[in-house]
Amino acid sequence: MSVSLLKLIRAHIVCIVSRMTDCAHRVAYARCGTVTFTFILIATFHMSQKRIIRIGLLGFGVVGQGVWKNIEKNRQALEFRLGAQLDITEVVVKNASKPREVAVPAECYSTDPTRVVDNPEIDIVCEMMGGTGEALELTRRALKQGKVVVTANKALVCEHGEELFKIANENGGHYFYEASVAGGIPIIKTIREALVANRFKLIFGILNGTSNYILTRMEREGLSFEATLGDARQLGYVEADEALDLDGIDAAHKAVILAYLAHGKWVKLDEIICEGIREVSGTDIEIAGQLGYKIKLLAVIARDFEANKLSVRLHPALIAKSEVIAGVDEVYNGVSVTGDVVGTTVLIGRGAGQDATSSSVISDIADAVFMIQGAPKPVISEEDEEVYRQLADGLELAVPADLAGRYYLRVHVKDEEGVLAKISNILAAHHISFATVNQKELADGTALIMLTTHESNETAVAAAKAALTAESVVVAAPVSLRIFEPSY
């Protein structure tokens, strides 16, 4: 190619680029004779004047302060990528004079949520108040006005998501909720966008960092549940309402959200198995280790496409040490997603904390900014009722008798002759057979019998536990844990 031709092409490109005002990848055409050259300009060109996107924060706790801090810290890179200026103009708090780690101009603070929700200049409402009371009412109001709402409130999405998505759809708003599940792991985007071509037969994983931290410390250091819980409290890992972490409620909220996203069906918490970690003992963890397992609090969302049944559950379970998710320790979360096209994908990352959660909130803010500037909504929009109606067409929740698997049982008994035979007879009456048996004598003259079963189901195990509890040689109600064996 001659030098003169290159100069001509360059001149054409410069002329075209000089007239571009928006930020995007550009394609320039330079004509010379009968030849057309197409050049892909990978660089991003700044607008002469960026659009200002005004953001209002409802709540300024740990996550809210993280959003402010990390936007300010990375402002130049963020605005370069987004092609817009981000301006947090309102921060609504309950107490404006309360000391906070992140410094904010005093004029930004307010105790009046209408300055965000009813303000026509606010483009994006970030709801980080938590709870399902005032947060619900304010989210409704914002979506009814067609605003974009970003939330990290998993309880609100779980309990009222169906209503809120409907309001957004009817009024031209949008509800982003990436930060509500698994902190810094982009699991919602992965299912909604990257794996859109798939049907998901199995999603399972660790969705609560606090419970995972406690189980990890119990396993590694041989600590009791109570001792580990005390350390978790001192480190600030435990929610003010401890039941959210310890009884599995927090992770169950997240499981419900994932079930809807993957299968289009809203499931109520009282319709699923939801069990926490309070009954897991050091002995359980020790025996599980000897058998080649670790104990993790697992969320499991499984769909049988042939029977068109869905199982959603949250409970501690024995999982083989060879499984990737079994190796996810401390406050980390991990999610395994099995699709019919892609196979199995595993995502691991920090599941909680200021930076991890605020990262997901900012990611949603970025998506909202692109959408406000004309980009299409996500590949599957949660407000697309028809898409989700098709996903859930005829789908039924599995009943306990449908949930088959192997189990671990711990039975506290009087150390008497014939005790094991009595337990065996009771289990046999419910068609449950032993696979392994371990016994541990206690100083008070009682004993613990730990056994694993061959395949059974929820109904049979529940009935057997009730029968064992009524037996005179049994000191306390038996504890059962499921042995989770994923079918990929």
Residue 465 pLDDT exceeds 80:
yes
Considering the domain architecture, whether residues 93 and 158 belong to the same structural domain is answered as yes
Considering the domain architecture, whether residues 67 and 170 belong to the same structural domain is answered as yes
| pLDDT averaged over every residue in the chain | 87
Average pLDDT, stretch 67-75?
Answer: 95
**Is residue 186 domain-resident?**
no
| Residues 416/421/427/430 CA torsion (nearest 10 deg) | -130
Clarify whether 422 is annotated catalytic. Answer: no
**pLDDT tens profile 355-364:** 888 888 999 9
**Is residue 368 domain-resident?**
no
Considering the domain architecture, whether residues 434 and 310 belong to the same structural domain is answered as no
Considering the domain architecture, whether residues 75 and 147 belong to the same structural domain is answered as yes
Tell me, what CATH number does 128's domain have?
A: 3.40.50.720
Considering the domain architecture, whether residues 90 and 157 belong to the same structural domain is answered as yes
* Percentage with pLDDT > 70 across the chain: 87
Burial (Cβ within 10 Å: 0-12, 13-18, ≥19) of residue 94:
exposed
Average pLDDT, stretch 223-249?
Answer: 90
**Maximum mean pLDDT: which of 163-177, 288-302, 370-384:** 288-302
**Is residue 276 domain-resident?**
yes
Q: Which residue has the tokens 């590694």?
A: 220
**Is residue 294 domain-resident?**
yes
pLDDT of residue 378: 59
pLDDT of residue 36: 40
Considering the domain architecture, whether residues 391 and 337 belong to the same structural domain is answered as yes
Q: What are the φ and ψ backbone dihedral angles of 250, each rounded to 5 degrees?
A: -60, -50
Model confidence at 258, pLDDT cuts 50, 70, 90, reads very high
258: nearest Cα among 305, 307, 190: 190
Average pLDDT, stretch 99-111?
Answer: 92
Model confidence at 3, pLDDT cuts 50, 70, 90, reads very low
Give the 3-state secondary structure of residue 487: coil
From 147, 154, 254, 465, the catalytic residue? 254
Average pLDDT, stretch 311-318?
Answer: 97
**Is residue 373 domain-resident?**
no
- Expressed as residue numbers, the domain containing 86 is 51-180
Model confidence at 35, pLDDT cuts 50, 70, 90, reads very low
Q: What are the φ and ψ backbone dihedral angles of 266, each rounded to 5 degrees?
A: -80, 130
Cβ–Cβ under 8 Å, residues 127 and 153: yes
Helices 62-73 and 75-82: angle between axes, nearest 10 degrees:
80
Greater confidence (13 vs 103) lies with 103
Model confidence at 218, pLDDT cuts 50, 70, 90, reads very high
**Strand partners for 435:** none
Number of H helices, E strands in the chain: 16, 20
Reported pTM: 0.83
**Strand partners for 438:** 450
Residue 63 pLDDT exceeds 60:
yes
User: What is the C-alpha to C-alpha distance for residues 63 and 361, in angstroms, rounded to an integer?
Assistant: 9
Q: How far is CA 9 from CA 20, 33, 44, 55, 428, in A?
A: 17, 12, 20, 43, 85
**Is residue 378 domain-resident?**
no
Greater confidence (282 vs 238) lies with 282
Average pLDDT, stretch 3-20?
Answer: 40
Average pLDDT, stretch 106-119?
Answer: 94
Considering the domain architecture, whether residues 241 and 389 belong to the same structural domain is answered as yes
pLDDT of residue 377: 66
Average pLDDT, stretch 55-60?
Answer: 96
Considering the domain architecture, whether residues 61 and 26 belong to the same structural domain is answered as no
User: What is the C-alpha to C-alpha distance for residues 250 and 239, in angstroms, rounded to an integer?
Assistant: 10
**Is residue 341 domain-resident?**
yes
**Is residue 118 domain-resident?**
yes
Helices 209-221 and 282-290: angle between axes, nearest 10 degrees:
70
Considering the domain architecture, whether residues 156 and 204 belong to the same structural domain is answered as no
pLDDT of residue 382: 53
Tell me, what CATH number does 436's domain have?
A: 3.30.70.260
Greater confidence (28 vs 260) lies with 260
Considering the domain architecture, whether residues 325 and 233 belong to the same structural domain is answered as yes
pLDDT of residue 13: 41
pLDDT of residue 385: 65
* Structural domain count of the chain: 4
**Strand partners for 215:** none
Model confidence at 4, pLDDT cuts 50, 70, 90, reads very low
Count of CB atoms situated within 10 Å of the CB of 439: 14
Greater confidence (3 vs 160) lies with 160
Considering the domain architecture, whether residues 167 and 66 belong to the same structural domain is answered as yes
pLDDT of residue 176: 92
